[in-house]
Each structure stands twice: as C-alpha cells, then as structure tokens.
Amino acid sequence: MEQFDLLYSEAEVMRLLGLSKDELSRLRRRGLVYVKFSSKCRAYFKNDVLSFGVQNRIVVEPKKVGLN
C-alpha cells in the first residue's frame, strides 16, 4: 500500500492547496495531470502536483531601495 501514499484524492488536493472545486478544475484545464477512474472519481499523483507547482511558480524579485 506504500505506493498509494503517493496518490491524493481530489478532496486531499483541495485541502492541501486551499482550493475550491472550481479552482482545482481550472488547474486541470491549465495542465494539472490527474488519473480519471470514472466521471466522478479523479486522483492526483504527489509528483504531478509538485511538478505543476514548480512549473507554474512565480519568483518575485525584491525591489531595490536606492540610496539618495
């Protein structure tokens, strides 16, 4: 059963990321990979969720404060 520790349900992904069902649906349309077991049952591999986050991360550079 260790392999299933790497698999998240839709509810788990929403809870972990703080997303609504609609927001998770938008992420799927933007490329979040999932496994479709039936029309109402989807699951997500931990590595796919992490990879999607890395691919879509935004790094904000701090503003440089000038010395006047």
Does 60 map to a domain? no
- Mean pLDDT of the residues in the chain: 90
- Domain holding 24, by residue range, is 2-55
The torsion defined by the Cα of 56, 15, 48 and 39, in degrees rounded to 10, comes to -110
More confident residue, 39 or 1: 39
The tally of domains found in the chain comes to: 1
Does 68 map to a domain? no
How confident is the model at residue 54, as a pLDDT?
94
Does 66 map to a domain? no
Banded model confidence at residue 67, pLDDT cuts 50, 70, 90:
low
Banded model confidence at residue 42, pLDDT cuts 50, 70, 90:
very high
